[in-house]
Chains A and B, each alone.
Chain A
Amino acid sequence: MEELLNLARKRADEAEVYWIKEERIPVEFENDKLKSIDSKFIEGVGLRVIRNGRLGFSSTTDMRGPSLLLENALVATQFGEEAGFQFPGEAEPTSVKLFDDQILQHSREEAVKSGEKVIKKIHAYNPDIRCYVGITRVKKEVGIFNTRGMRLQYRKTILGVDITGILAREQDILWVSEGTVSCRREDIKIFDLVEEIIKKFRYSEQVVKLPSGKMPVIFNPKAIYALLIPLMLGVNGKIVQKGASPLSQYRGKKVFDSRLNIFDAGEMDFQPGSSPIDDEGVPTQRTPVVNGGILTNFIFDLQTAARMKTKSTGNGRRNFTGPPSPEFNNIVISPGEVPYPEMIRNLKEGLLVDQVMGAGQSNILAGEFSVNVDLAFKIEQGEITGRVKNVMVAGNALEAMNNIASISREVQIIPGGFITPAFLFEKLSVASRD
């Protein structure tokens, strides 16, 4: 890396090397059987240079020599955007725990055994359920080096588990999926997932009808992302800068329910989305995005922040194959007041949504959502009475977030970097085909 920087220094004004080395070992069970064990060794470099004030970029996985990489990056500076920023020099990285030796010691054989146990437990409830289990161990090293003095490297371990049970009956396929992921092994409670899956299969034993109409709807933490996507895009600095965010003019204003608090958090220990610095060397932080219903901040990388005459929020994210752009580290929503069981108990009649399909397909930039409810239950007189099929829930997510009936006291960590409670909305539009 030092050689590449030295070469680059001679031909360009500034340079930045983003290096990543990753070892990923997925163990996969398909249809109740161990299917495969793979090992993926990936190493790559992304090079950003600034010449005559303009940015150039190139990447490679060919670690044999830096000359072609540098030439490609230099060619691009002829046309590249004006760099409105400087690479950060020696920065004080945020202190965050991301590495656990216990994960590295988690062997392929252990993963195989865990998977077999999961399947056995699910089959003890119902042997007709077909099980898919994926257990993936990741070791990742990231380095950021630049001509302004930055020489930072960090390591991360990740263990992730995904379980899906599929039960096929006459005219019906029922899927239940649960997953968990952490940088620390002790957080992975694989059999809690199994219990959750069995519980949902039990709720689904009865299929009940639900007429179309406007009704109270609870979104479980696993499903709420369908309503968060428009908000996440709306506060993305890049989309704001392009003028495409429906939220751009609302900064500092109260647009959501005053109980809504949303943060971007890059500094949470053992969350896979966390890191001491973002992917261009800016220390990560905790950024309030929505505070008491008030839209407080957008998220930025260096270049977008420069265009908007503000500061990076430590959200410059990328793979080595491309330049950074603003993305959330972890999205954290503060818990509410109502215990989750009470939220259900207090409902006379309504819908409980656990899994959705088609999120992010509708006109999300306008806040619209329209999702097929993959797994949902009917609530009658405070009880879950059975599974509801062939139903869509639609509305405007930004409006819905201003009409929250209650937020659960419990939060759940959802793979993909969401830490969120469940939400009850008083009236959402539900279309049923039955």
Chain B
Amino acid sequence: MQSLLEEAIKKSNADYVDIRFEESQRTVVEYLGKELENIGISTSRGGIVRAIVNGGWGSVSFQDPEELSHYITLAIEAARLVGKSFTRMASARRIRDEVKVVIKKDPREISLAEKKNLMEEYNGILLKIPRIQTTSVRYHDVFLTKYFVNSEGSYLKQEWCEVVAVVQAIAREGSNVQPASESFGSTTEGFLAIEGKHSLVEDTGLRAVALLDAVPVTGDRYTVIIDHKLAGVFAHEAFGHISEGDLIYENERLREMMKLGNQFGVDNLHILDNATLKGYRGYYCYDDEGVPSSETFLIKNGILVGRLHSRETAGKMEEGITGNARAINYAHRPIVRMSNTYILPGEKSFEEILEETSEGLYVRGARGGQTNGEMFTFSAEEAFLIQKGKLAGRVRDLTLTGNVFETLKNIDAIGNDLVIINSGGGCGKGAQSPLPVSFGSPHIRIQNVLIGGR
């Protein structure tokens, strides 16, 4: 494969060309309720040629590498049609490397029967809980080999592996339906990452059932304490995405608001993106442009200090490369993406934060999130009223919304209990979803959050 790719790229004639070729094997086990809806092993291979001429991109995704030179010609033709200015790409080190993945318990050595049996156990735990109507228990593992060559002489062969399980319980009473979910996974532990989770699975089911008896929240502004999951989703969705260079570089307004050095929050607020964090789903050695991964502080001491880049956005903004150009698979060009994004811990314990909150909501878990740049909405899994510093009744069906800049400034307490989670799904941007990422946070408190409710 190496020589095939390297030979083909030698003949290319553009400002820059690269080729990525991927071969993967994926196993899935999916229970929905009592039924095993999907089980099996599938394979995939394909690649993409990307060319840039006078600042314009052309690309061709393909499956058969035998016709590579034809695809290179097509990609360069498209790039010429687009290019009208000049190419600005940050320079990157020429890399020649092969990365073997080291997995503690390789999923390829575990039988399909064993994978199915474990999911069956988890599913059985949930189905036994009274008032659980149905379940969704999904397992997947992926073993991926990626080849990368570019016209600057880089060559990479990288292996990547992940094992993920997502369990969801749906409790129901009449027309009141309440889901709760949990996910486990790793890019280094292999099958170990999802074994022995029986009690966490049971807790998930019990959480869904407890929500049946919660009362719908009243829409209003609240002081909220949010847990590591929801705060992690906030760090990723609301703030992380506007730290992506491709969103910033041509958007004057966002560039102004995202000026490095601007004060964004309290002194002990630190947010970073760290692709070098082994084991988490956003872990990798080189991104899909062959740039080494890095740890990038976005906010340090409450001040905006960095952002995420591809070679193109770093070049255009004259900032350093960070190795954040990622693609979900061979059918897509890499775009600027996050990896493992989290808020660093502060000083206070959760109990202290709770005690000093006279009234508000303690909001946990996330069912989803969306943003349009400045405005975000997130829906939480569960919440409790806070009265005089203590947790009171359980409330449900919460959606939080707000402006990210105001919300960051309204963070007034940061806990000491960071947890990073491997979310089971992944991140979506443009047409590319789901990309493996993780996010996390300690407990944080935010003032003046708008909650939608009836």
Contact = CB atoms under 8 A, between A and B. Distances in A.
Interface of A: 30-31, 33-44, 56-63, 68-69, 72-73, 75-76, 78-81, 108-109, 112, 130, 166, 168, 173, 175, 212, 238, 241-244, 246, 307, 321-323, 325, 357-358, 360-363, 365-368, 370-372, 374, 390, 392-396, 398, 429, 431, 433
Contacts of B134: 242-244
Contacts of A362: 367, 379, 397, 399
B121 interface: no
A41 B60 contact: yes
A81 B34 CA distance: 10
B172 A243 contact: yes
A322 B219 contact: no
Contact of A61 (B46, B133, B179, B372): B46
Nearest to B381: A363
Interface string B294-318: 0000000000000000000000000
Going nearest first, the 5 A-B pairs with the smallest beta carbon separation are: A358-B377, A168-B253, A392-B452, A361-B368, A76-B40
B184 interface: no
Given A358-B379, A431-B219, A31 B64 contact: no
Given A244-B170, A366-B176, A394-B219, A39 B367 contact: no
A246 to B, nearest CB: 4
A30 B396 CA distance: 40
Contacts of A37: 56-58, 78-79, 81-82
B340 interface: no
B450 A36 contact: no
Contact of A75 (B112, B220, B396): B112
Report, as a range, how many residues of chain B touch the other chain: 35 or more
Contact of A79 (B36, B79, B254, B451): B36
A62 B25 CA distance: 11
A39 B60 contact: yes
B215 interface: no
A75 B40 contact: yes
Given A63-B64, A363-B396, A58 B179 contact: no
A371 B58 CA distance: 37
B175 A56 contact: no
A57 B78 contact: no
B122 interface: no
Interface of B: 32-33, 35-46, 56-64, 74-75, 78-79, 81-82, 84, 112-113, 116, 133-134, 170, 172, 174-179, 219-221, 250-254, 331, 333, 367-375, 377-379, 396-399, 401-403, 450-454
Contact of B170 (A56, A358, A365): A365
A363 B59 CA distance: 40
B22 to A, nearest CB: 10
Contacts of A371: 377, 399, 452
A358 B399 contact: yes
A42 B331 contact: yes
B112 A361 contact: no
Given A30-B250, A242-B32, A79 B59 contact: no
A390 B370 CA distance: 15
A357 B375 contact: yes
Given A36-B57, A63-B64, A431-B450, A392 B401 contact: yes
A60 B375 contact: no
Given A40-B331, A57-B38, A79-B39, A246 B177 contact: yes
B370 A361 contact: yes
13 contacts: A36-B58, A37-B81, A39-B60, A57-B38, A68-B43, A357-B377, A358-B379, A358-B399, A361-B399, A367-B175, A393-B452, A394-B453, A394-B454
B63 A41 contact: yes
A418 B450 CA distance: 31
B259 to A, nearest CB: 15
Contacts of B64: 63
A242 B78 CA distance: 48
B353 to A, nearest CB: 24
A167 to B, nearest CB: 9
A388 B373 CA distance: 18
Given A321-B44, A358-B378, A361-B379, 15 more contacts: A30-B250, A31-B250, A37-B56, A37-B58, A38-B78, A41-B60, A42-B63, A79-B36, A79-B113, A168-B254, A173-B375, A357-B375, A392-B450, A394-B399, A433-B402
A73 B58 CA distance: 37
Contacts of A35: 56-57, 82
A244 B169 CA distance: 11
Choose among B62, B133, B177, B251 the residue with the greatest number of A CB atoms under 10 Å from its CB.
B177
A56 B377 contact: no
Contacts of A398: 175
Given A37-B78, A39-B60, A60 B42 contact: yes
A244 B171 CA distance: 8
Nearest to B62: A41
Contact of A58 (B42, B61, B372): B42
Contacts of B79: 37
Contacts of B398: 370
B396 A372 contact: no
A361 B230 CA distance: 13
Contacts of B367: 361-363
A175 B453 CA distance: 25
B43 A72 contact: yes
B175 A246 contact: yes
Contact of A357 (B36, B43, B63, B370): B370
A393 to B, nearest CB: 8
B219 A392 contact: yes
B42 A59 contact: yes
A425 to B, nearest CB: 13
A131 B130 CA distance: 53
Choose among A78, A323, A358, A361 the residue with the greatest number of B CB atoms under 10 Å from its CB.
A358
A173 B253 CA distance: 9
Contact of B63 (A63, A69, A374): A63
B220 to A, nearest CB: 7
B251 A61 contact: no
Contacts of B170: 242, 244, 365
Nearest to A246: B175
A394 B33 contact: no
B140 to A, nearest CB: 11
B397 A370 contact: yes
A370 B452 contact: yes
Contacts of A368: 397
Contacts of B178: 363, 366
Contacts of A76: 39-41, 112
A61 B45 contact: yes
Contact of A431 (B42, B220, B396): B220
Given A62-B45, A76-B39, A365 B372 contact: no
Nearest to A175: B372
A168 B331 CA distance: 33
Nearest to A42: B331
Contacts of B172: 243-244, 246
Contacts of A68: 43
A73 B40 contact: yes
Contacts of A244: 33, 133-134, 170, 172, 177
A372 B32 contact: no
Given A39-B61, A76-B40, A374 B372 contact: yes
A48 to B, nearest CB: 10
A365 B208 CA distance: 13
A382 to B, nearest CB: 27
Contact of B113 (A59, A62, A78, A392): A78
B377 A112 contact: no
Contact of A62 (B37, B43, B78): B43
